[in-house]
Amino acid sequence: MTTGAFDVPGQWLKGNLHLHTTASDGELEPQQAVDGYRERGYDFLAITDHDTVVDVDALDGGGMTLLPGIEIGAPKAELGQSIHVVGIGATEAPEQVEGEPPQAAIDRLAEASEVCFVAHPSWSSLTYADILPLQRIIGVEVFNTTCRRGIGRGTSEVQWDECLARGRRFLGLAVDDAHVHYDDLYGGWVMLRAEEPSPEAIYAALKAGHFYASSGPTIEHVAIDGEHVHIECSPCVEVFAVCPLPGRGWTNWQVGGGREVVTEVDFEMRTGTEPIRIVVIDEAGKRAWTNPFWLS
């Protein structure tokens, strides 16, 4: 069966899809931020200021692909926060109407954008019920650097799994959401598989789920043949196959076990469980997350 990013031709491209600059509440000028990511070897970068679109055509990417974007706050989650949604490829800020349902705000964002996803569920105290009904999003941020550094709530695996278990085919993204005041640069990214680093190819790969998320490790390959799973990764001490269904799902906890460094893992899946997603964890506790694989 297909394993998405690990199964398609192309090259690996590293990118950050969530970043604030002085155009909203970030501390770096847009060009400063661009220069920093380019120097770190990123292949693409989206600027996603709050409620405003920075003209990336006026900036010098120096070979790094720049994507326009925006972050909006759609009203209103169960526990009182707004639902932050990032629109990549946004050409203009959509109108926002007070008191409207979240989907109405997301619909207008989606009209103006190429790809939308829900930002930092944990930081926003979103429950799965807030996210479950949302349409025109590709998924959720499974990791957000500024939320990790700022308040210790960087991961949103639980909300993601709760939606997967209820049948939503959501993808998982890692981003910085860098503002800089929390030392939040270069901590979360996506590795995306595309033929070329053009905006169009990047948007298509995002929509197709041809990427994985990371806060450190590299996942070089995942192959699924029948019930056999083969994973190649940078040195890690734990490798999990996480399945949110049925019930508590199952995990392949024995691989690495936190004691042994592994770079290659083979195991047999249990039948009747899907989707599965792979998580690898390195000695520093940094994680990488594949998108879910649906077997049927």
Q: Does residue 14 bind Zn ion (CB under 5 A)?
A: no
Instruction: List the structure tokens of 154.
Output: 């960087």
Cβ closest to Zn ion, residue 121 vs residue 197: 121
Stretch that binds Zn ion, among 37-45, 113-121, 187-195, 226-234 (CB under 5 A): 113-121
Rounded to whole angstroms, how far apart are CA atoms 276 and 24? 38
Tell the smallest beta-carbon distance from residue 207 to Zn ion (Å). 21
Tell the smallest beta-carbon distance from residue 276 to Zn ion (Å). 29
Q: Report yes or no: 186 and 176 within 8 Å, Cβ to Cβ.
A: yes
Cβ closest to Zn ion, residue 43 vs residue 71: 71
Stretch that binds Zn ion, among 116-124, 148-156, 166-174, 257-265 (CB under 5 A): 116-124
Q: Tell me, what amino acid is at 54?
A: V
Tell the smallest beta-carbon distance from residue 151 to Zn ion (Å). 12
Q: Does residue 43 bind Zn ion (CB under 5 A)?
A: no
Cβ closest to Zn ion, residue 119 vs residue 239: 119
Q: In what order do the strands lie in the sheet with 228-236?
A: 219-225, 228-236, 262-268
Tell the smallest beta-carbon distance from residue 27 to Zn ion (Å). 13
All residues at 6 or more sequence positions from 92 whose CB lies less than 8 Å from its CB, including other chains: 53, 112
Q: Does residue 177 bind Zn ion (CB under 5 A)?
A: yes
Stretch that binds Zn ion, among 28-36, 58-66, 172-180, 272-280 (CB under 5 A): 172-180
Given 74, 77, 119, 140, the residue binding Zn ion (CB under 5 A): 119
Tell the smallest beta-carbon distance from residue 249 to Zn ion (Å). 29
Our separate counts of H helices and E strands in the chain read 6, 15
| Strand residue runs (E) in the chain | 11-16, 44-47, 65-74, 83-88, 115-118, 139-144, 171-175, 189-194, 211-214, 219-225, 228-236, 238-242, 262-268, 277-281, 287-290
How big is the site for Zn ion, counted in residues (CB under 5 A)? 4
Instruction: List the structure tokens of 169.
Output: 């085919």
Q: In what order do the strands lie in the sheet with 83-88?
A: 171-175, 139-144, 115-118, 83-88, 65-74, 44-47, 11-16, 189-194, 211-214, 287-290, 277-281, 238-242
Cβ closest to Zn ion, residue 46 vs residue 239: 46
DSSP string, 205-216: HHHHT-EEEESS
Given 3, 21, 70, 84, the residue binding Zn ion (CB under 5 A): 84
Cβ closest to Zn ion, residue 47 vs residue 171: 47
Cβ closest to Zn ion, residue 157 vs residue 176: 176
Rounded to whole angstroms, how far apart are CA atoms 243 and 293? 10
Q: Report yes or no: 44 and 64 within 8 Å, Cβ to Cβ.
A: yes
Q: Does residue 71 bind Zn ion (CB under 5 A)?
A: yes
Stretch that binds Zn ion, among 84-92, 130-138, 156-164, 240-248 (CB under 5 A): 84-92
Cβ closest to Zn ion, residue 28 vs residue 119: 119
Cβ closest to Zn ion, residue 81 vs residue 234: 81
Residue nearest to Zn ion (CB): 84
Q: Tell me, what amino acid is at 281?
A: I
Which residues of this chain interact with Zn ion, rule CB under 5 A?
71, 84, 119, 177
